[in-house]
Structure 1
Amino acid sequence: MASTQADPGSLPLSVDLCLPHVPGRAACLTLCLFYAALLVLGVLGNGLALCLACRGGKKINSAGVYLVHLALSHLLWTSALPGTIIYYARGFHWPFGDGLCRLTAFLVSANAYGGVYLSMCLSVDRYLAVVRAHGRPRPRSAHQAGLVCAAVWSLVLLQTVPLLWTPLAEPAAGKPTCVEHVGAEPTLGLPLPALLACAIGFCGPVGVMLLCYVAMASKLHRAAQGSPRARRRGLPRRACLLSLLGLVAVGLCFGPYHLHLFQFTVRAALRPPSCAERRAFAWTLQLTAALRNVNCGLDPVVYFFTSTRDRKWLLRVLKLRAFSSSGPGEKLLQKQGGRLGVLAHKEV
Structure 2
Amino acid sequence: MDQMNLTDSIESNSTDCPSIDDFRNQVYSTSYSIITVLGLAGNGLALVVLIRTRRQSSPFHIYMLNLAVSDLLCVMTLPLRVLYYVNKGQWNLGDFMCRISSYALYVNLYCSIYFMAAMSVTRFVAIVFPVQNMQLVTQSRARLVCVGIWVFICLSSSPFLMSGQHFDSITNKTKCFEPPRERNLQKVVILNYWSLVVGFVLPFLVILLCYAGIVRTLLFRTQAAKRQQETCTKAIRMIVIVLLTFLVSFMPYHVQRSIHLTFLSRSDTTCLERIAMQKSVVVTLCLAAANSCFDPLLYFFSGEGFRKRFSSMRRSGSKGSTLNPTKRMKANADSKHEEVHQPKGS
TM-score category, normalised to shorter length? 0.7 to 0.9
Report how far residue 62 of structure 1 moved: 0.7
The alignment-based identity, stated in percent, is 25
Report how far residue 151 of structure 1 moved: 1.0
C-alpha spacing 1:167/1:273, structure 2 compared with 1 (3 Å)? farther
The answer on whether the counterparts of 1:127 and 1:213 sit within 8 Å (CA) in structure 2 is yes
Rounded Cα–Cα distance in structure 1 between residues aligned with 2:83 and 2:235: 41
Rounded Cα–Cα distance in structure 2 between residues aligned with 1:137 and 1:184: 54
CA offsets 1:220-272 (integer angstroms, 9 cap, x no match):
1100xx32x32232233124211332122122111111000122334556x45
C-alpha spacing 1:194/1:151, structure 2 compared with 1 (3 Å)? same
**Rg: which structure is higher?**
1
C-alpha spacing 1:57/1:164, structure 2 compared with 1 (3 Å)? closer
Rounded Cα–Cα distance in structure 1 between residues aligned with 2:13 and 2:130: 63
Counterpart check, 1:231 vs 2:226: yes
The answer on whether the counterparts of 2:60 and 2:303 sit within 8 Å (CA) in structure 1 is no
Residue number in structure 1 paired with 2:196: 198
Name which of structure 1's ranges 125-134 and 183-192 shifts more when overlaid on structure 2. Answer: 183-192
2:92 to 92, 95, 98: 95
1:173 to 171, 175, 197: 171
The answer on whether the counterparts of 1:54 and 1:60 sit within 8 Å (CA) in structure 2 is no
C-alpha spacing 1:322/1:27, structure 2 compared with 1 (3 Å)? farther
The answer on whether the counterparts of 2:50 and 2:61 sit within 8 Å (CA) in structure 1 is yes
Counterpart check, 1:64 vs 2:61: yes
The answer on whether the counterparts of 2:90 and 2:173 sit within 8 Å (CA) in structure 1 is yes
Name which of structure 1's ranges 51-60 and 250-259 shifts more when overlaid on structure 2. Answer: 51-60
AA matched with 2:220: R
Rounded Cα–Cα distance in structure 1 between residues aligned with 2:67 and 2:61: 10
Query: What secondary structure sits across from 1:189 in the alignment?
Result: helix
Report how far residue 45 of structure 1 moved: 0.7
- Structure 2 counterparts to residues 129-148 of structure 1, below 5 A: 129-135=126-132, 138-148=135-145
Rounded Cα–Cα distance in structure 2 between residues aligned with 1:53 and 1:318: 13
Rounded Cα–Cα distance in structure 1 between residues aligned with 2:44 and 2:156: 27
Work out the number of aligned pairs and report it.
310
CA offsets 1:190-234 (integer angstroms, 9 cap, x no match):
3222112111111111111111111000001100xx32x322322
AA matched with 2:87: R
Query: What secondary structure sits across from 1:176 in the alignment?
Result: strand
Residue number in structure 2 paired with 1:285: 281
Rounded Cα–Cα distance in structure 2 between residues aligned with 1:86 and 1:104: 12
C-alpha spacing 1:185/1:207, structure 2 compared with 1 (3 Å)? farther
C-alpha spacing 1:185/1:282, structure 2 compared with 1 (3 Å)? farther
Counterpart check, 1:125 vs 2:118: no
Residue number in structure 1 paired with 2:291: 295
For the aligned residue pairs, the C-alpha RMSD in angstroms reads: 3.3
- Structure 2 counterparts to residues 148-163 of structure 1, below 5 A: 148-163=145-160
- Structure 2 counterparts to residues 1-348 of structure 1, below 5 A: 8=14, 10=16, 21-24=19-22, 28-56=25-53, 58-135=55-132, 138-171=135-168, 172-179=170-177, 186=183, 188-190=185-187, 191-223=189-221, 226-227=222-223, 229-241=224-236, 242-268=238-264, 271-272=266-267, 274=269, 276=271, 280-307=276-303, 309-315=305-311
Unaligned runs of 5+ in 1: 12-19, 326-348
CA offsets 1:272-323 (integer angstroms, 9 cap, x no match):
5758566654442221010111110110112235458432453566689899
CA offsets 1:146-180 (integer angstroms, 9 cap, x no match):
11111111211222112112244342411112126
The answer on whether the counterparts of 2:164 and 2:176 sit within 8 Å (CA) in structure 1 is no
Rounded Cα–Cα distance in structure 1 between residues aligned with 2:182 and 2:229: 48
Rounded Cα–Cα distance in structure 2 between residues aligned with 1:198 and 1:163: 16
AA matched with 1:292: A
C-alpha spacing 1:217/1:313, structure 2 compared with 1 (3 Å)? same
The answer on whether the counterparts of 2:61 and 2:304 sit within 8 Å (CA) in structure 1 is no
C-alpha spacing 1:108/1:237, structure 2 compared with 1 (3 Å)? same
Query: What secondary structure sits across from 1:144 in the alignment?
Result: helix
The answer on whether the counterparts of 1:116 and 1:201 sit within 8 Å (CA) in structure 2 is yes
Rounded Cα–Cα distance in structure 2 between residues aligned with 1:293 and 1:157: 17
C-alpha spacing 1:324/1:34, structure 2 compared with 1 (3 Å)? farther
> Larger relative contact order (C-alpha < 8 A, sep ≥ 6)?
2
TM-score normalised over the length of structure 2 = 0.78
The answer on whether the counterparts of 1:304 and 1:310 sit within 8 Å (CA) in structure 2 is yes
Unaligned runs of 5+ in 2: 1-7, 322-346
C-alpha spacing 1:273/1:200, structure 2 compared with 1 (3 Å)? farther
Report how far residue 139 of structure 1 moved: 3.9
Report how far residue 75 of structure 1 moved: 0.5
Rounded Cα–Cα distance in structure 1 between residues aligned with 2:242 and 2:319: 35
Residue number in structure 1 paired with 2:331: none
